[in-house]
Structure 1
Amino acid sequence: MTRLICLGFGLGLLRPGPGTWGSAGAIVLGLLIDRFLGFPVLVLATLAVTALGFWALSRELTGAHEDPSEFVIDEVAGQWLALLFPAAAFWWRDEAIAYPGWVAAFLFFRLFDIWKPWLVGRADRSGGVTGVMTDDLWAGLFAGIATVIAAGIAHGVLM
């Protein structure tokens, strides 16, 4: 069961780019949660998948220091963290998350997850379960912040 969780229930087996497939699947599921169950449930789901990711990876990566590309539970956690930013903004407006917000969260998350700047790269280099999970959580945080900044620029708030 832990392997299935780490594989994102099979998304990590898709090629090419299992991390991108994991992120895309996370976006779809996150949007469904936000739309039908609401933002508070997405927050709880993000916390739950993060804890589940740490737990499942600790079982699967005993002694390993690398991040197997097929393990995408970390991408799901990071992508949902990024998605929380636009989802929160729309929740405050009592609306379902709109098109540009989730696309920006996805694109920024993939950018930071692949590029691995600053704390993302440091976490990635630390290895082990903590490194595998925290690099994606940092990427998600940076992606969420970048999404809010991009929205502010697009809507003239930060000009």
Structure 2
Amino acid sequence: MNAATLIGTVGGVGYLRPAPGTWGSLAALPLAYGLHLLGGFPLLALATLAVCIAGYWATAEMTRGQANHDPSEIVIDEVAGQWLAIWAISYPAWAHDIAISALWPGWVAAFALFRLFDIWKPGPVGWADRKTGPVGVMLDDVIAGILAALGVAALAGFSHGVLGL
């Protein structure tokens, strides 16, 4: 397995069936947890940026000369998007010295909302998905991740503010 394939498939996770995108999102969770434990939100943010850049490169390499510019085995985009969704719990945990595992409802919400937006492709996610090449492959998941993070923040605000939990 060459470097582009190793990165693009997240070490082969993209070959799992069915639903390789869901497997890629699931694989992103323990990686995000480990990064947060090692360096808090700053390390997760830096790693997310690195994954976006590496994902763009790997996608360009894996699809060079291919008719299919978004093969299902490429799941590095799911890792980038899922990590962005996790920002909504990583930052507050880091900023307020809270164990990130204590925010487990946020983990569930981040995963569910990211998968929902990635599959449903509402508004800007669908727009990005229609872009061709590695930009489209990465961008739709980045936008889905941002929307999921906003959803997690809104749910936390509702839960802790309105409901007082």
| RMSD of equivalent CA atoms | 1.5
| 1:18-47 deviations in Å (ceiling 9; x for gaps) | 100000000111011112332111111011
Alignment TM-score, normalising by the size of structure 1: 0.94
**How far off is 1:126 after superposition?**
1.4
Aligned to 1:93: 96
Aligned to 2:122: 117
**Distance in 2 between the 1:108 and 1:62 partners?**
31
Aligned to 1:2: 4
| 1:127-146 deviations in Å (ceiling 9; x for gaps) | 21110000000000000000
Aligned residues: 159
Return structure 1 stretches of 4+ with deviation > 3 angstroms. Answer: 63-66
**How far off is 1:155 after superposition?**
1.1
Aligned to 1:72: 75
**How far off is 1:66 after superposition?**
3.3
**Distance in 2 between the 1:144 and 1:112 partners?**
11
Unmatched runs of 5 consecutive residues or more in structure 1:
none
* Counterpart residue type for residue 54 of structure 2: L
Contact 2:40 2:90 survives alignment (8 Å):
no
Aligned residues: percent identity? 53
Contact 1:65 1:127 survives alignment (8 Å):
no
Alignment TM-score, normalising by the size of structure 2: 0.91
Aligned to 2:111: 106
Unmatched runs of 5 consecutive residues or more in structure 2:
none
Q: Does 1:141 align with 2:146?
A: yes
| 1:47-106 deviations in Å (ceiling 9; x for gaps) | 101110011111111244531111100000111111111111111111222211111111
**Distance in 1 between the 2:37 and 2:152 partners?**
19
